[in-house]
Amino acid sequence: MVEFIRPLDLSNNLDSWQWELADLGGYSVSITRLHIDNVYLAASDLRAVWLKDLPRKINIFLWSVAQDRLPTRLNLSRRGIEIEQISCVSGCFMSESLQHLLFECVVA
């Protein structure tokens, strides 16, 4: 065990935390968000942009719309959930897709 720890250089300095994403080592929410956008969302070409003037629920809704993640009948059917019919409940006989619900349905 002595041979294992011999190459270690131990000092009497205090331990500290370092945030590797920041130049000065301090944590920042904005730097973390930029890192997530650039590394994890870069391939999807979708950024986590939040509008500060809008309520959180609206931001989440808009982000879900941008990703086509709302639980429309068509999306639920695609995910393997058994649904009697995927047509719109308004009776227009169109598939209940995100595009239809938000822009095409006369009831909406």
Which phi and psi (to 5°) does residue 84 adopt?
A: -55, -50
pLDDT exceeding 90 applies to what percent of the chain?
21
Count CB-CB contacts under 10 A for residue 74: 21
Highest mean pLDDT among 9-23, 25-39, 48-62, 64-78: 64-78
Write the DSSP string, 19-33: -TTSTTS---HHHHH
pTM greater than 0.75 (yes/no): no
Lowest-confidence segment of 2-6, 81-85, 97-101 by average pLDDT: 2-6
Measured between alpha carbons, how far is 99 from 71 in angstroms, rounded to an integer? 12
What one-character DSSP code corresponds to residue 36? I
pLDDT in tens, 43-85: 655 555 677 788 889 988 988 888 888 999 999 999 999 988 9
